[in-house]
């Protein structure tokens, strides 16, 4: 229905509705009604209004919307956790509005023809749909299921096992995540032949000693799980103590050490006890690196005496730093440019008065050794010192 309203009506009014350049017969009232609109009825409609004083006109446009029609469906799909997904509702009809739903509940802000989720999580797994509507009606996208897959995870607390030569050991994995899974078993970073979720080692020898782990994979990724450290009685060891390079040889407790092969692969790890003692078990003949890592001992000892010592060394008033000269020379080169000069002395003073917080070298330095094992266990002691503490005054 179209209707015109007249203001300041002072005399009789006449009306004539027209469209497509022709008057509409019998359309001579202030209102004009079209029943059962079809596409042929669309276009501009004019109303000419006149009285004895003159005439005027107004027009409006009639357009026609179609009932929404959804031309495609979205099939159930699975996506890996942490990956993004995007959905689109392909629909026809005029002046469409969209509302995406999750488990039949409207999703706030999801009112476009497309809907995306960045970095999906398990909470995003659900049934989704989209309501498409206009003034002519509503259609609902056929609901579809989004499943979230996860990469493997094995909740394992690594254990240490000690066996005698000739014994057997058995490992089994029951990972969480989305199957199917594939497995790679490793001994000290070297891949074994087993490919299932179980590993049995029979007739154990020293060659079987070491760290066992497994790489578990599926379509979403992989995880490496540390399973166990196998010690075999009567096999060789590397042991010793880690002490501070001072007069008291203070034990370095809670210091992490790693045993590496010639390819820098970590074969075993150990933590020093309250005496500074450590031990690597089941060591086969060969050459190894002992790499010292984190320690709970605080850094300290760098003071003006160390700065003065560095300056005296630079001008050749002294020839060595005393004690383990090589390790203390490393501790003196705090700007890490391979030279010991007044800049190092300045930086040591600056750190002492808290102008700078760190040196260019690590807080802790060790004379990490290379060790050769040949048919007998090895005793290897290690010295440590703080960066800048060239006279070894800390800890007391």
Question: Is 80 exceeded by the pLDDT of residue 65?
Answer: no
CA angle 48, 52, 55 (to 5 degrees): 25
Phi, psi dihedral angles at 206 (to 5 degrees): -60, -30
Domain that holds residue 131: 69-149
- Band of pLDDT at residue 381, cut at 50, 70 and 90: very high
Span 9-18, pLDDT tens digits: 777 899 999 9
The reported pLDDT for the residue numbered 396 is: 67
Q: What average pLDDT does the segment 69-90 reach?
A: 94
What is the H or E stretch that residue 138 is in? strand 137-140
Whether residue 111 is found in the same domain as residue 131: yes
Whether residue 270 is found in the same domain as residue 361: yes
Q: Out of 49-53, 146-150, 365-369, pick the least confident.
A: 49-53
Residue 368 lies in a domain: yes
More confident residue, 9 or 378: 378
Whether residue 393 is found in the same domain as residue 315: yes
Q: What average pLDDT does the segment 57-61 reach?
A: 91
Q: Which of 205, 232, 259 is the last residue of a domain?
A: 232
Q: Which of 62, 84, 106 is the last residue of a domain?
A: 62
Q: What average pLDDT does the segment 69-86 reach?
A: 94
Residue 302 lies in a domain: yes
Tokens of 20: 């497509």
Q: Total domain count for the chain?
A: 4
Please report, for the domain that includes residue 22, its CATH number: 2.60.40.10
45 within 8 A of 61, measured Cβ to Cβ = yes
List of residues 6+ apart from 324 with CB closer than 8 A: 245, 367, 383, 385
Whether residue 264 is found in the same domain as residue 300: yes
List of residues 6+ apart from 248 with CB closer than 8 A: 396
Mean model confidence pLDDT for the chain: 92
Compute the half-sphere exposure of residue 322: CA atoms within 13 Å on the CB side of its CA.
13
d(CA 336, CA 119): 42
Span 233-277, pLDDT tens digits: 888 899 999 999 998 999 999 999 999 988 888 888 899 999 999
Q: What average pLDDT does the segment 154-178 reach?
A: 92
Residue 154 lies in a domain: no
Q: What average pLDDT does the segment 17-23 reach?
A: 91
Whether residue 41 is found in the same domain as residue 164: no
Is residue 107 classed exposed, middle or buried when 0-12, 13-18 and 19+ CB atoms within 10 A define those classes?
Answer: middle
Question: Is 70 exceeded by the pLDDT of residue 378?
Answer: yes
Whether residue 379 is found in the same domain as residue 324: yes
Question: Is 80 exceeded by the pLDDT of residue 124?
Answer: yes
Residue 354 lies in a domain: yes
Question: Is 90 exceeded by the pLDDT of residue 395?
Answer: no
Whether residue 117 is found in the same domain as residue 164: no
The reported pLDDT for the residue numbered 380 is: 96
Residue 361 lies in a domain: yes
pTM of the model: 0.55
The reported pLDDT for the residue numbered 5 is: 86
The alpha carbon of 360 is separated from its chain's Cα centroid by a whole number of angstroms, namely 29
The reported pLDDT for the residue numbered 203 is: 95
The reported pLDDT for the residue numbered 62 is: 85
Structural Rg of the chain based on CA atoms: 41
Q: What average pLDDT does the segment 60-71 reach?
A: 85
Q: Which of 232, 264, 283 is the last residue of a domain?
A: 232
Whether residue 195 is found in the same domain as residue 240: no
Residue 21 lies in a domain: yes
Whether residue 8 is found in the same domain as residue 119: no
Residue 117 lies in a domain: yes
Q: Out of 65-74, 88-97, 178-187, 371-380, pick the least confident.
A: 65-74
Whether residue 256 is found in the same domain as residue 388: yes
The reported pLDDT for the residue numbered 118 is: 95
Whether residue 282 is found in the same domain as residue 393: yes
The reported pLDDT for the residue numbered 324 is: 64
Residue 104 lies in a domain: yes
Whether residue 251 is found in the same domain as residue 392: yes
């Amino acid at each position: 229905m179209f209707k015109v309203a007249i203001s300041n009506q002072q005399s009789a009014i006449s009306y004539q509705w027209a469209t497509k350049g022709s008057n509409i017969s019998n359309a001579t009232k202030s209102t004009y009604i079209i029943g059962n609109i079809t596409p042929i009825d669309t276009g501009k409609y004019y109303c000419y209004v006149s009285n004895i004083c003159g005439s005027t006109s107004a027009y409006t446009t009639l357009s026609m919307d179609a009932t929404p029609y959804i031309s495609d469906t979205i099939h159930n799909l699975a996506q890996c956790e942490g990956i993004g997904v995007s959905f689109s509702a392909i629909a026809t009809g005029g002046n469409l509005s969209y509302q995406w739903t999750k488990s039949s509940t409207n999703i706030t802000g999801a009112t476009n023809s497309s809907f995306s989720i960045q970095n999906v999580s398990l909470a995003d797994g659900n049934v989704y749909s989209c309501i498409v509507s206009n003034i002519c009606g509503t259609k609902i996208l056929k609901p579809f299921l989004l499943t979230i897959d996860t990469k493997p995870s094995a909740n394992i607390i690594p254990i240490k096992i000690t066996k005698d030569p000739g014994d057997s050991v058995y490992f089994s994995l029951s990972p969480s995540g989305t199957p199917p899974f594939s497995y790679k078993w490793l001994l000290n970073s070297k891949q074994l032949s087993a490919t299932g979720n179980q590993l049995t080692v029979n007739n154990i020898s020293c060659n079987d000693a070491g760290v066992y782990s497994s790489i578990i994979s599926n379509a979403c990724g992989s995880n490496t799980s540390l399973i166990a450290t196998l010690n075999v009685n009567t096999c060789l060891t590397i042991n010793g103590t880690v002490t501070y390079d001072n007069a008291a040889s203070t034990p370095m407790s809670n210091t992490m050490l790693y045993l590496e092969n010639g390819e820098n692969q970590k074969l075993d790890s150990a933590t020093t006890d309250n005496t500074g003692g450590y031990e690597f078990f089941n060591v086969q003949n060969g050459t190894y690196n002992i790499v010292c890592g984190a320690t709970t001992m605080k850094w300290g000892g760098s003071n003006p005496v160390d700065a003065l010592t560095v300056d005296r060394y630079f001008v050749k008033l002294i020839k060595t730093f005393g004690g383990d000269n090589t390790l203390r020379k490393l501790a003196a080169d705090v700007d890490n440019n391979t030279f010991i000069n007044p800049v190092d002395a300045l930086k040591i003073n600056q750190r002492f008065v808290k102008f700078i917080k760190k040196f260019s070298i690590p807080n802790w330095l060790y004379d990490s050794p290379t060790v050769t094992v040949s048919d007998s266990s090895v005793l290897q002691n290690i010295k440590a010192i703080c960066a800048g503490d060239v006279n070894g005054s800390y800890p007391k």
